[in-house]
Amino acid sequence: MKTIATFTTPEDAHLFRTFLESRGIRGHLLDEYYVQLFWYHSNAVGGVRLAVEEDDADEASAIYQEYMESLRQGPYPLQPVRAWPVVIMLSLLVGVPMMLFGRRHFQKAGSVE
C-alpha cells in the first residue's frame, strides 16, 4: 500500500476515493475515524490518508493531480459583478421618500385610531 494523498476532512477523502473507484482503482482510507472523532488533531496526525496498491500508485497519483487541477479551475470562469448601480438606485428609492415624508407620515399610516 502506498499513500498518494492526504485530506483534512474525511468527507473530502471519501469524495476522492469514490472518484478513484469510478476509474477502477481501489483505495483505502487511513486514520479516517480518528480524524472524525478528534477533528482538532487532524493536522497533528497528518489528516486522512488515501492509500492504494503499489501497482496502481502512479495512475492514482496522475488522477489526483488532474482532480485537484479541476477543483482549482472550477466549473466556470468567474466574472466580476458590477452591482453598485443597483445598490445606489435601491438606496435612493428607499431613502428619498423617507426624507421627504418624514417620520410623521409613516407614524400616521401605522397608527390605529
What's the distance, Cα to Cα, between the start and end of the chain in Å?
Answer: 81
pLDDT at 54: 93
Whether 60 and 27 have beta carbons less than 8 Å apart is answered as: yes
Question: Residue 27 phi/psi, 5° resolution?
Answer: -120, 155
* The residue count for the chain: 113
Which tens digits make up the pLDDT trace of 30-64?
999 999 898 888 888 889 999 999 999 999 999 99
Looking up cell 478513484 gives 20
Please say if the pLDDT value at position 106 is more than 70.
no
pLDDT at 61: 94
- Please report which confidence band the pLDDT of residue 78 belongs to, taking 50, 70 and 90 as the band edges: low
The residue type at 80 = P
Which tens digits make up the pLDDT trace of 26-39?
999 999 999 989 88
**Mean pLDDT of all residues in 68-90:** 79
Looking up cell 483534512 gives 8
Question: Which is more confident, 83 or 24?
Answer: 24
Please say if the pLDDT value at position 102 is more than 90.
no
C-alpha cell at 19: 472518484
